Amino acid sequence: MLKEGEVRIPSGCAIAAMISTEGNLMTGEKIVKCMVPMHDRSNGLGGGFAAYGIYPEYKDFYAFHVFFDSHDARLECEKFLKEGFEIVKSEDVPIRKIPEITDVPIIWRYFVSPMSSVLSRLQLDDREFVSRCVTKLNTKFDGVYVFSSGKNMGTFKAVGFPEDVGRFYRLEEYQGYAWTAHGRYPTNTPGWWGGAHPFSLLDYSVVHNGEISSYDANRRFIEMFGYHCSLQTDTEVIAYIADYLLRRRQLSLQEMAWIVSAPFWSVLDRPNTREAEQIAYLRKVFPSLLLTGPFSIVLGFTGGIMALNDRAKLRSMVVAEKDDVHFVASEEAAIRAIEPDAENVYAPIGGEPIIFRVKEGAF
């Protein structure tokens, strides 16, 4: 057998996303099809999807998707949940048994609502409470991985190629106004269920192609605020950074982009750089949240998505549109696979956030 270094594996993760700005619902079939031309960018060690708007009947409840290593782990988790949440529904996540997906853990979902008595005792708002509980479950409970915890959205991920993961989770049976997708080619870290993308916390989800060379600096900073990176993949920290900057610090998406993919100081020094003062301020306040190294990411959130490249644009990404649907993908061919007549194909420049939102009231 050839060892690593003796064989060249042409690869790089794949990301894709689609969103209807009119809030029209789309089944998961298309986003799965979109990943097919990019098959060779993954190596079967991880695939996943995030879908928004899929649980309208439970839209007021947090939807927890959880991997359990054992039934005992599930019982322990439920014991903990019952102390702080009302559980309105608890069930297996429906799957299709296929030979391509093996070593399947117990995959469960709960629709929960934090108890108001607990919130008032702890003096926390519900999102903060949920975020803390998810962190606690993921770090203090053996064999429990909460990999999705938002309202009216869900993350679906597994070890396998994305097309197979989509069939495995029966994504054609869900309808969402926005979908993101990932095909994984793990380079430095193990390919395991918890390490597949998207990474999510509350309704924020991140799919990522690249490698964060600043990971440890970012991790040390974000862990000061109660997050804990436990999933052995650099992308995890981006999800927590998004939650920290957008929810806790109430910054805008543009401000988040300026922080994580900040323009070089030499660019800010140029006389005609717009908003240079504001960007420089943010760089100084959050220097440890600059993400260095190559990346293209799609951040999903309730009502929208944001696509972003690293400032030197070391990973490819294009966007395109057709009527009310906007597409993002690592390769144009992926978009053409589901929308041959896509228009306005555009490659965003490094650090330029591309934000699509569903129109007000439509989600």
Partner 1 sequence: MVIDAKNKQFNELNRDIWLSNTEGKIVNCLGQRFIAAGLKDKSIEIEGTPGNALGAYLNGASIFVNGNAQDAVGDTMNEGTIVIHGNVGDAAGYAMRGGEIYVAGNAGYRVGIHMKEYKEKKPVIVIGGRVGSFLGEYLAGGRIVVLGTNRDDKPLVGSFPCAGMHGGKIFLYGDISAIIFPSHVHTKVATTTDWKEIEPYVTRFCEFFGFDKNRFIPDNFTVVTPDGANPYKQLYVAN
Binding mask 312-331 for partner 1 (x = CB under 8 A): xx--x-x------------x
Q: How far is the CB of 291 from partner 1 (least distance, A)?
A: 17
Taking CB under 8 A as the binding criterion, the range among 21-29, 33-41, 50-58, 187-195 that sits at the site for partner 1 is 33-41
In angstroms, the CA 213 to CA 208 distance is: 14
Amino acid (one-letter) located at 261: S
13 is catalytic: yes
**Among 13, 34, 77, 133, the one annotated catalytic:** 13
Binding mask 164-203 for partner 1 (x = CB under 8 A): ----------------------------------------
Taking CB under 8 A as the binding criterion, the range among 63-71, 116-124, 206-214, 262-270 that sits at the site for partner 1 is 262-270
Q: How far is the CB of 298 from partner 1 (least distance, A)?
A: 18
The token duo for 153 is: 């959205």
Which 8-state DSSP code applies to residue 313? -
Q: How many CA atoms lie within 13 A of 277 on its CB side?
A: 0
CA distances to 30, 95, 114, 154 from 98, in Å: 20, 9, 36, 21
Tell me the backbone φ, ψ of residue 157, rounded to 5 degrees: -150, 160
Q: Coil, helix or strand for 343? A: strand
In angstroms, the CA 115 to CA 305 distance is: 30
Binding mask 269-308 for partner 1 (x = CB under 8 A): -x--------------------------------------
The token duo for 40 is: 């060779």
Binding mask 126-165 for partner 1 (x = CB under 8 A): ----------------------------------------
Q: How far is the CB of 347 from partner 1 (least distance, A)?
A: 5
In angstroms, the CA 193 to CA 187 distance is: 15
Amino acid (one-letter) located at 176: G
Sole binder of partner 1 in the list 16, 18, 38, 54 (CB under 8 A)? 38
User: Exposed/middle/buried for 104, CB within 10 Å: 0-12, 13-18, 19+?
Assistant: middle
Is residue 347 part of the contact set for partner 1 (CB under 8 A)?
A: yes
* Greatest C-alpha distance within the chain: 62
Is residue 46 part of the contact set for partner 1 (CB under 8 A)?
A: no
List residues binding partner 1 (CB under 8 A): 10, 37-38, 40, 264, 267, 270, 312-313, 316, 318, 331-334, 336-337, 345, 347, 349-350
Query: What residues are labeled active site?
Result: 13
